[in-house]
Amino acid sequence: MAESRFVYVTYIRTTPEKLWRALIDPEFTRRYWCETYQVSEWKPGASWKSMIPDGRVADAGEILEIEPNNKLVLTWQNQFIPDLQAEGHSRLTYELEVVGESVKLTLTHEIDRPNSQLIDAVSSGWPHLLASLKSLLETGESLVETRKWPEGM
């Protein structure tokens, strides 16, 4: 295989509007995404970055495609772990689709290289964050382990 890819599909009892907000709004992401928040003008071609609470940049890239409440595609390069940064840009896609009383969220994180360390790393991170996001939207509470940026990281 010439690429590495992580795929995640979850059903969340919410609306596309609420889920969309939770994916990009700092007020939400800080609660389930380890206190990080994203900075972007959220339009095609705009820069995008995800900030660590201490002021460092976690990941950065560019918005490729954006259809509010429906689809978001952006490039993503790690900025704080040299080995991962060296792999260059990956691509993250969120797709939202109403299914009955839920929204089906499909997340695809991919990079054009085999055996990517970045994809390995995010493969263990995303399940926690997305389970926490689901919990936050469905119950109002995120999962405890995703509320704080990990110490020393």
Partner 1 sequence: MPANVDNLFKALADPGRRLLLDRLYADNGQTLGQLCEHLDMTRQAVTKHLKLLEKANLVVTLWRGREKLHYLNPVPIHDIAERWIGKFERRRLSVLAELKKRLEGETDG
Under the rule (CB under 8 A), what is the footprint of partner 1? 1, 3, 5-11, 99-100, 102, 104, 106, 108, 123, 127, 130-131
Nearer to partner 1, 75 or 116 (CB): 116
Minimum distance of partner 1 from residue 53's CB (angstroms): 25
- CB distance 76 to 92 below 8 Å: yes
Nearer to partner 1, 8 or 149 (CB): 8
Minimum distance of partner 1 from residue 56's CB (angstroms): 28
Cβ atoms within 10 Å, residue 68: 13
Minimum distance of partner 1 from residue 127's CB (angstroms): 5
Query: For residues 43 and 14, what is the distance between their CA atoms, to the nearest angstrom?
Result: 24
Helix, coil or strand: residue 75: strand
CA dihedral sign of residues 100, 73, 20, 4: positive
